[in-house]
Amino acid sequence: MKLKVALTSILLFTAVAAHADCDAQKAARNAAMNATVGVSGHCTPKNVTKDALRDNTNLDEKKSNLNNKTQNVKNTANDARNTANEVKNVVTD
């Protein structure tokens, strides 16, 4: 009985950290622990799927932001070339 109480206490203290880094390995470990001890953590296959979908959504947003920043760099480079050409034309005239 004391072992179950100690194990439950440890799981409660680590549940917050386990949710933050929920992956397939932790979900499998929690399922095995649930089958043997009857207690499992927060990380389940359902949570892994939710995290994966959320990460993919964030990737699309990050890709869009990266494309915008790349275009801004290209525009700035073009502006610098145009300014250099204008200076060159003024100096040669």
Q: Would you say 35 and 10 are in contact if contact means Cβ atoms under 8 Å apart?
A: no
The model's pLDDT over 53-88, given as tens digits with 9 standing for 90+, comes to: 777 777 778 888 889 999 999 999 999 999 999 998
User: Alpha carbon of 7 to those of 1, 15, 28, 29, 79: distances in Å?
Assistant: 10, 12, 18, 15, 64
Nearest C-alpha neighbor of 19 from the set 51, 62, 61: 51
* Beta carbons within 8 Å of 64's beta carbon, 6+ residues apart: none
Is the predicted pLDDT of residue 19 greater than 60, yes or no?
no
- pTM to 2 decimals? 0.40
Say which amino acid occupies 41: G
Cα 44 to its chain centre, rounded Å, is: 18
Q: Which of 6-10, 44-48, 85-89 has the lowest mean pLDDT?
A: 6-10
Q: Which pLDDT value is given to residue 14? A: 58
pLDDT > 90: what percent of the chain? 24
